[in-house]
Amino acid sequence: MEEHSPVRYQIPVSVIVPARNEEACLATCLRSLLDQRPSVPNLEIIVVDDGSTDRTRAIAESFPGVRVISPPPLPPGWSGKSNAVSAGAQAAHGEWLLLTDADTLHRPGSLARAQAEASEYQAALLSYSPQQDVRGIPEKAVMAVIFAELAATYRPSEVSDPLSPVAAANGQYLLIRRDIYQLIGGHAAVATTLLEDVALAKLVKQSGHKLRFRYAPDAVETRMYRTFSQLLEGWTKNLAALFPSSYRLALLRAAEFSLILGSAGVAISSKTPALRLESAAIFTTSFTFFWKRIRRAHFSWDASLLAFFGLPIFSYLLLRSTLSYVRGNVTWKGRTYGSSTLAPDSENSWPASSRINMPAAAKVSRP
């Protein structure tokens, strides 16, 4: 496909921050974005207040130079985030659009470096996986497992390879050329999926344009969830859409936990030397495979060790997410979505038994 030349705008980048009840983190995000202006002249920052009932809008309006808008009423079947980002994109004037979440912290100079990186790799879409700020034992344990699975499913080298069909992006940091965003149809083209970031990346790659995806602790950090209830709701929304063969993966990780724990127990407690040695060998082999996989997630040593206890929690969350999609009852930030808001490649992502029971139409309710 012939490569399109970017349309030239007076504003180089428009940052779009969809925000729904984000009073706990929005100020930190906006300060870090405003700090990008010395290295990115005429930077435009747009906060889309998506029906917040807390101080989100007041906080956004307290920052000079930040434009605050409201999205139109949520169309039937659309996800709230797609509706908000679409509104921000229509109001933006930048040559590039940086779509980022309110719970992110941007490193000084990171946006200018991201622009240079996108230019170097001739990427129409550049996306970063942020450094994760995790706190507390349950959060550290399960987040390390989830991001290890993501690293294995969406390998950055494959995502960034034009010859590979694998496509992915992280909606917490997604820098896309405006003309390419418009070419693929923007968020209107992915409005009915809760996995809009991966869907956008897939459309960009299918259009013949390049993706660039990597782990970027040098650019952005995020604390995704501040309570376990938020973590539970958030991953229930995302996990089944992210991972193919969700039932099988949940059972595999539960079996891995049982194998490691059981072999360790037998190696310690058995009075039979041969059985102890055999169990110790099974433990060593299985734990080594587990450890190598977990370390790919770039978490701290203590989180990586705690990830062993995160295996059954991950299995539970994945099964919970799958059942929520099957039942057509996925909830996020006060809205309930029906099961047509699936992964962009849902036919490959769902077991046949799950697809049979899915309602045909999405239902969206607003508080």
Whether 366 is covered by a domain: the verdict is no
**Residue whose entry in the numeric block shows the structure tokens 């659309």:** 78
Give the number of domains in the chain. Answer: 2
pLDDT computed for residue 9 by the predictor: 61
pLDDT over threshold 80, residue 21: yes
Whether 109 is covered by a domain: the verdict is yes
pLDDT computed for residue 186 by the predictor: 96
Q: Are residues 71 and 219 located together in one domain of the fold?
A: yes
Q: Are residues 184 and 266 located together in one domain of the fold?
A: no
The residue among 162, 194, 226 that closes a domain is 226
Helix (H, G, I), strand (E, B) or coil at 23: coil
Give the pLDDT mean for 266-281: 93
pLDDT computed for residue 366 by the predictor: 34
Whether 161 is covered by a domain: the verdict is no
> Which range marks the domain in which residue 349 is found?
240-356
In the structure encoding, which two tokens stand for residue 208, read together? 């013949």
pLDDT computed for residue 40 by the predictor: 93
Q: Are residues 219 and 249 located together in one domain of the fold?
A: no
Q: Which has the minimum average pLDDT: 64-73, 105-114, 262-271, 347-356?
A: 347-356
Q: Are residues 174 and 67 located together in one domain of the fold?
A: yes
Give the residue ranges of DSSP H helices in the chain. 26-34, 56-61, 80-91, 110-120, 137-153, 156-159, 178-183, 196-206, 228-242, 246-269, 273-295, 301-327, 346-349, 352-356
Give the pLDDT mean for 83-104: 97
Whether 138 is covered by a domain: the verdict is no
**Cβ distance 95 to 6 under 8 Å?**
yes
Q: pTM of the prediction?
A: 0.86
DSSP string, 101-144: -TTEEEPTTHHHHHHHHHHHTT-SEEEEEPEE---SHHHHHHHH
pLDDT computed for residue 105 by the predictor: 98
Q: Are residues 244 and 307 located together in one domain of the fold?
A: yes
- Give kind and range of the element (H or E) at residue 330: strand 330-332
Q: Are residues 219 and 291 located together in one domain of the fold?
A: no
Of the two residues 116 and 362, the one the predictor is more confident about is: 116
Whether 52 is covered by a domain: the verdict is yes
CATH code of residue 37: 3.90.550.10
Q: Are residues 222 and 245 located together in one domain of the fold?
A: no
pLDDT computed for residue 336 by the predictor: 84
pLDDT computed for residue 335 by the predictor: 87
Whether 162 is covered by a domain: the verdict is no
Whether 80 is covered by a domain: the verdict is yes
Write out pLDDT tens, residues 304-327.
999 999 999 999 999 999 999 888
Of the two residues 60 and 356, the one the predictor is more confident about is: 60
Q: Are residues 221 and 244 located together in one domain of the fold?
A: no
Rounded to the nearest integer, the mean pLDDT of the chain is: 89
Task: Identify the top-confidence range among 8-22, 44-58, 226-240.
Answer: 44-58
